[in-house]
Chain A
């Protein structure tokens, strides 16, 4: 009845619902959705579980007067609130592609390892599956499709270039599944997108509110592709300036971000703050390095580096005092 445990076919593996935020996969969509509500859309002030990050953002805004900064327990480059995810809905194409590539690579590696060990042929390939076959692409084909897609998408979207890269490690969520896995049911085959719309989806803007304010989480900038003109500003002579470059900082793809590898909120341990840690000392500032090179579109609200704002205020006539 149920599929043979241990050696699912590649399409079985690819068909598993998975979570955009943490890359964990699930036996069925319902479990994925309750996972997302519990792990990614739960209000840490009152425990309420919302349907989406947008819903949580509005909730926090209205009920707790707080701004949701990022999605909890998400991989470092999946914490943003710009992407509206519900179950398997809303996952950007390139992310789907990367995910599938990774799953397939992993699958074939495992299978190869198994073959090497046992001498058995790949399972799943010769068995008559009742389910509709998913058209399989090789990693090469996928890559090519991804490249094409990227080319089409290239203009205008600066965040695309470095957002996604194959994740080197399967991410292990230390918590047990929210709902016991139901082995009796066949895994969902196609159409995980057939979920009916849910209340609030895409309609969560509160009256007069702006849940996704432009100035939103300042700390989230590092992966937005904005140049960091002042990175490496630590002068050579300062104590402790011999810091090694920190992982998790801009250009390297996300696989460069440390996943401490241990259970206990691994993915959660790295987020916007560490991601924005500047790689101090990586390249000591040279005297010729001018602040704010012409091209950098940066505007400092207060830019006098010698005289403090209070000294300037003290010069305003309204604060002039007459010494007694």
Chain B
């Protein structure tokens, strides 16, 4: 019996920063520190999986689709946020941050593209108004990860801060004439992370009721937007991506989180230990853990139809590391019917 797992070819040549599925197809964007964005079709036969490669001038730290698969949006180490026309390959600078741009996210309902940068600012782009400069939002700290729902934006930052913004006022600001002056916007909620260490990844629930976040210290927390005591009491956190070696608890960063789009309580975590685990967030159970990948898990994505899990692995930065050598690849796992189903109702 063969396994339903295969590698995309050719893979990027350096550390992977992000992978995203197209909203309505089996196409997958991969961004890499090798300064390229790769567009694959995960269902194509092995030799033809790479549809096209787009070369930029600097390492690409994040990528996403817009409302269709015609364009990709990138955040780069050269501070720029770009739009790539995936048909023609032409790329356009949408805005330039004051430091490396590390995150992009697109919210379809508001047609907003949000980018984040180590300069501590967000750029909110109204894609419906081409040429419009973005609203510049000043954050209380350096952002590390962002995730959107149809009406909210969650920003995980330094100092263990987590802001939850309403997209509506951001949309309003983005539609106005912007002089590029940073503004502060009152978040819906400003939270302190429920984990003690740096936030590594944030993923909103497909139910849009809350989000999961992970830290550099082998831990994942799940919490809800609803500020009521009742909803907040459901919050939980748990340890994962650790191993005991010679009596020492080796703790890996949890680099990636992704929710399943169909079984909405199911999410995957990927760690510096090369492991990917599936969790049932409702019953708080681990559903399964996959065989260890050859290097750190860099990013995870479920396809919109829930049939595929894409796992990007590449060397992870560790304390004292000076080179980033090691295996790089994107594994596609074809998910069987029950593979991502929760375990509660047996």
Contacts and interface: CB of A to CB of B under 8 A. Distances in A.
Interface of A: 44-46, 61, 63-67, 69-70, 73, 213-219, 221-222, 224, 226, 228, 230, 233-235, 237-244, 246, 264-265, 268-269, 271-274, 276-278, 280, 285, 291, 296-306, 308-314, 316, 318-319, 321, 323-324
Nearest to B221: A280
21 contacts: A45-B338, A46-B1, A64-B3, A67-B289, A69-B277, A221-B249, A239-B192, A240-B233, A264-B345, A269-B344, A272-B286, A278-B238, A285-B196, A291-B196, A298-B248, A299-B249, A301-B252, A301-B272, A303-B216, A306-B198, A309-B216
Given A239-B191, A273-B285, A309-B253, A67 B338 contact: no
Nearest to B78: A321
Contacts of A218: 218, 239-243, 271, 273, 275, 277
Given A44-B338, A301-B251, A319-B77, A324 B57 contact: yes
B251 A66 contact: no
B239 A314 contact: no
Question: From DSSP, what is the main secondary structure of chain B's interface residues?
Answer: loop
Given A215-B243, A216-B243, A311 B100 contact: yes
B33 A313 contact: yes
Given A238-B191, A271-B343, 6 more contacts: A239-B232, A269-B344, A274-B284, A276-B238, A278-B238, A303-B216
Contacts of A246: 236
A268 B343 contact: yes
Given A278-B238, A323-B78, A310 B344 contact: no
Contacts of B322: 316
A55 to B, nearest CB: 16
A303 B251 CA distance: 9
Most buried by B among A219, A276, A303, A311: A219
B319 interface: yes
B250 A299 contact: yes
Given A217-B286, A218-B273, A277-B284, A321 B248 contact: no
A235 B100 CA distance: 31
Contacts of B195: 233
B289 A217 contact: yes
A316 B318 contact: no
Contacts of B77: 314, 319, 321
Nearest to A238: B192
A309 B316 contact: yes
Contact of B59 (A298, A306, A321): A321
Nearest to B344: A269
Nearest to B245: A214
B130 interface: no
Nearest to B337: A45
A240 B17 CA distance: 32
A215 B273 contact: yes
A270 B253 CA distance: 25
A268 to B, nearest CB: 6
B253 A302 contact: yes
Given A215-B273, A217-B289, A298-B248, A63 B284 contact: no
B285 to A, nearest CB: 5
A272 B317 CA distance: 28
Contacts of A268: 343, 346
Contacts of A65: 3, 5, 290-291
A310 B17 contact: yes
A224 B253 CA distance: 21
A301 B315 CA distance: 12
A102 to B, nearest CB: 25
Contact of A63 (B3, B277, B324): B3
Which are the 4 A-B pairs with shortest beta-carbon distances? A240-B232, A215-B243, A233-B196, A309-B317
A235 B159 CA distance: 12
Contacts of B272: 301-302
Nearest to B15: A313
A234 B196 CA distance: 7
Contacts of A302: 216, 252-253, 272, 316-319
Most buried by A among B231, B239, B338, B345: B239
B147 interface: no
Contacts of B197: 300, 305
A324 B219 CA distance: 40
Given A61-B291, A217-B289, A239-B191, A310 B319 contact: no
B45 interface: no
Interface string B146-186: 00000000000010000000000000000000000000000
B223 interface: yes
A66 B291 contact: yes
Interface in B28-61: 33, 57-59, 61
A251 B333 CA distance: 38
Contact of A242 (B158, B229, B237, B318): B229
Contacts of B318: 301-302
B316 A278 contact: no
Contacts of B92: none
Nearest to B61: A310
Interface in B285-335: 285-286, 288-292, 316-319, 322-324
B192 A314 contact: no
A311 B116 CA distance: 14
